[in-house]
């Protein structure tokens, strides 16, 4: 754990996801516990689980996700929330989670810049 200053977020606060929803189980310890219940990653994409009794293996640190269909809400560094689809490309999720990779998430790029990128 360490302090992150505004200058440490070189990709821009509005392009960087700081907090995500996560599906909880009935025996979840919650975010105050300081356990793996508080740690999320985007490596597994967005997970949708309607089963409140579903459990992950003890060695697994969970993906972001929610109990409602179609996606997850993300809190961006700028303070705004964005609903992000379950169909969001894995690369876009990784770009949103990395505060200093120099990549603007494709989800927020203009159509023209996406077209140019695809021609390269």
Residue 20 lies in a domain: yes
Query: Helix or strand or coil: residue 82?
Result: strand
- Is pLDDT above 80 for 20? yes
pLDDT at position 59? 46
112: part of which helix (H) or strand (E)? helix 111-119
Residue 1 lies in a domain: no
Q: Please report, rounded to a whole number, the percentage of residues in the chain having pLDDT higher than 90.
A: 24
Residue 59 lies in a domain: yes
Q: How many domains does the chain have?
A: 1
Residue 78 lies in a domain: yes
φ and ψ of 65, to 5 deg: 170, -175
Residue 105 lies in a domain: yes
Structure tokens at 53: 């009794």
Query: Using an 8 Å Cβ cutoff, are 72 and 44 in contact?
Result: no
pLDDT at position 40? 74
Task: Tell me whether residue 86 is exposed, middle or buried, using C-beta atoms within 10 angstroms of its C-beta: 0 to 12, 13 to 18, 19 or more.
Answer: middle
Count CB neighbours of 53 within 10 A.
8
41 vs 85, residue with greater confidence? 85
pLDDT at position 37? 66
pLDDT single digits (tens) 5-16: 999 999 999 999
Q: What does pTM read for this prediction?
A: 0.71
- Is pLDDT above 80 for 90? yes
Residue 81 lies in a domain: yes
Residue 97 lies in a domain: yes
Count CB neighbours of 55 within 10 A.
10
Containing domain of residue 26, as a range? 6-119
Residue 108 lies in a domain: yes
């Amino acid at each position: 754990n360490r302090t992150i200053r505004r200058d440490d977020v070189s990709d821009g606060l509005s392009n960087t996801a700081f907090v995500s929803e996560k599906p909880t189980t009935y025996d979840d310890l919650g975010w105050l516990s300081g356990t793996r219940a508080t740690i999320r990653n985007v490596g597994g994409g967005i997970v949708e689980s309607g089963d409140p009794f579903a459990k992950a293996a003890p060695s697994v640190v969970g993906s972001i996700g929610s109990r409602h269909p179609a996606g997850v809400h993300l809190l961006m560094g700028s303070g705004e929330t964005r609903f992000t689809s379950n169909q969001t490309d894995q690369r876009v999720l990784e770009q949103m989670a990395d505060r200093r990779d120099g990549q603007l998430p494709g989800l927020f790029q203009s159509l023209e810049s996406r077209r140019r990128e695809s021609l390269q």
